Amino acid sequence: MSLTALPPATVTLAFTGASGLPYGIRLLEQLLAAGCRVWLLYSPAAQVVAQQEMQLSLPSQAKALQALWREQYCCGEQLSVFGREEWFAPPASGSNPADAMVICPCSMGALAAIAHGMSDNLIERAADVSIKEKRPLILVPRETPLSVIHLENMLTLARLGVTILPPAPGFYTHPSTVDDMVDFVVARILDQLRIPHTLMARWGEPRT
Interatomic CA distance for residues 132 and 162, integer angstroms: 11
Q: 150 vs 75, 112, 125, 154, CA distance in Å?
A: 37, 8, 20, 6
Portion of the chain with pLDDT greater than 90, in percent: 91
Note the pLDDT of residue 14.
98
Which residues are part of a known binding site?
Answer: 17-19, 43, 142, 172, 188
120-164 tens-digit pLDDT? 999 999 999 999 999 999 999 999 999 999 999 999 999 999 999
Note the pLDDT of residue 2.
46
Whether 156 and 181 have beta carbons less than 8 Å apart is answered as no
Residues 6+ positions from 63 with CB-CB distance below 8 Å: 81
pLDDT grade, residue 191 (50/70/90)? very high
25-76 tens-digit pLDDT? 999 999 999 999 999 999 999 999 999 999 999 999 999 999 999 999 999 9
Note the pLDDT of residue 203.
85
User: What value does the mean pLDDT of the chain take?
Assistant: 95
Q: Which of 17-44 are b and which e, b meaning 16 or more Cβ less than 10 Å from the residue's Cβ?
A: bbebbbbbbbbbebbbebebbbbbbbbe
pLDDT grade, residue 201 (50/70/90)? confident
Which residues are part of a known binding site for dimethylallyl phosphate?
Answer: 172, 188
Domain ranges of the chain: 14-193
Portion of the chain with pLDDT greater than 70, in percent: 97
- pTM of the full predicted structure? 0.95
Interatomic CA distance for residues 157 and 96, integer angstroms: 22
Q: Does the structure show a pLDDT above 60 at 1?
A: no
Note the pLDDT of residue 5.
59
Note the pLDDT of residue 46.
97
Which residues are part of a known binding site for FMN?
Answer: 17-19, 43, 142
Q: 192 vs 8, 83, 94, 102, CA distance in Å?
A: 11, 26, 22, 10
CATH architecture classification, 14-193: 3-Layer(aba) Sandwich (3.40)
Question: What helix, strand, coil percent values describe the chain, rounded to 5?
Answer: 45, 15, 45
